[in-house]
Amino acid sequence: MPGSLSPADSPGPLGASRAPTAGRAAVTASAGTDRAADAAAPPAGGPRTAPVRSARSARAGAWAELLRLPALFTVPGDALAGAAAAGTRPGRRTLLAIGSSLCLYEAGMALNDWADRAEDAVERPHRPIPSGRIRPAAALTAACGLTGAGLALAAAAGRPALTVAAPLAASVWAYDLALKHTPAGPAAMAAARGLDLLLGAAATSGGTRTALPSAALLGSHTLAVTAVSRKETTGGSVLAPLGALATTGVLTRLAARRGTRLPAGRRAAAAPGLPGPIRDTGGRGSADALATALGAAYAATAARPYFHAALNPSPPLTQRAVGGGIRATIPLQATLAARAGAPATALLIAALAPAGRLFAKRAAMRKVSIT
């Protein structure tokens, strides 16, 4: 969940930004081409809209960097996997849970950079707050507002959802303000991600018991990634990526196994107003095959950068390992949905990965790291 894998800014998979077209015009003008300079200049006395647009674009880019917008695509799969683990189809309350998760995630991102502003001024002066592009008070206000919005959306999804969202919000704030640099930091972030999955189960079905195994698996993955992220600016840790690599192997095996399903009577007794139960349609074999394929995709996404970081624990490779672990969250979520017998939900979650890559390749997002 929010803030766990925060401050490093390796370019990772997002690539380098392309030089804007306006830059070529400026080069031509500086070379003495009066005609190009005249064409680029605004009319005499006219409104200077270009500088205004440029300032707005720069401000929007700073907020996108602060909130790590490309990482948002790893969030909806928590609630969707939770709904699948609870044995119910996603519905309106699931959407409310997703909205709550997104708000709490972004609250954690803003709070993370506010809490780390002194450290970032030394180690990462290009970040939005130490570089002066975003005021600390604005980041803290955003964190408070997003937390309130997340809790309100959870309340709209029902009391069970709010019961999970409240400790989730508390864990986000506790991590960013007190636990991040303590031995309890990775465990706190793992608990937050597990609670996020349980939020989807509680909102959709009103209960969380059957989603606990899936929450534990997702939390274990988050624990491993967070442990690696603690050395992403200094490097030097071989044990953390090795541990994450071993964890990935175990999770791949466990996540692809058939999950525990609700008894038929429990599935049929859906509460009034909740989405209908997922019915077993005899496609268990295809669901198992899908879970195996998605589990392989999860392992392939996470294992290689972990292995490279273990061989050479330099800051760039460690940061790349963290980015790989974050991206691997989506195929793991999809695997958990497939093992619960919800192949359609699993495919929907899996589709978030290419959607996230396309979003990250947009010109405005090319400089925004997911870590």
- Residues 105 and 91: their CA atoms lie apart, in Å, by 21
What pLDDT, in 10s, does the model give residues 302-361? 999 999 999 999 999 999 999 999 999 999 999 999 999 999 999 999 999 999 888 887
pLDDT value at residue 41: 47
Indicate whether this model's pTM tops 0.75: yes
Q: What is the mean pLDDT of the chain?
A: 83
CB 135 within 8 A of CB 29: no
What pLDDT, in 10s, does the model give residues 180-195? 989 999 999 999 999 9
What pLDDT, in 10s, does the model give residues 77-123? 999 999 999 999 999 999 999 999 999 999 999 999 999 999 999 98
pLDDT value at residue 177: 96
**Nearest partner of 85 among 325, 304, 307, 332, judged by Cα:** 332
Contacts of 164 (CB under 8 A, 6+ apart): 154, 195, 198, 199, 202, 208
CB 9 within 8 A of CB 126: yes
Query: Range with the lowest mean pLDDT among 5-14, 54-63, 143-152, 198-207?
Result: 5-14
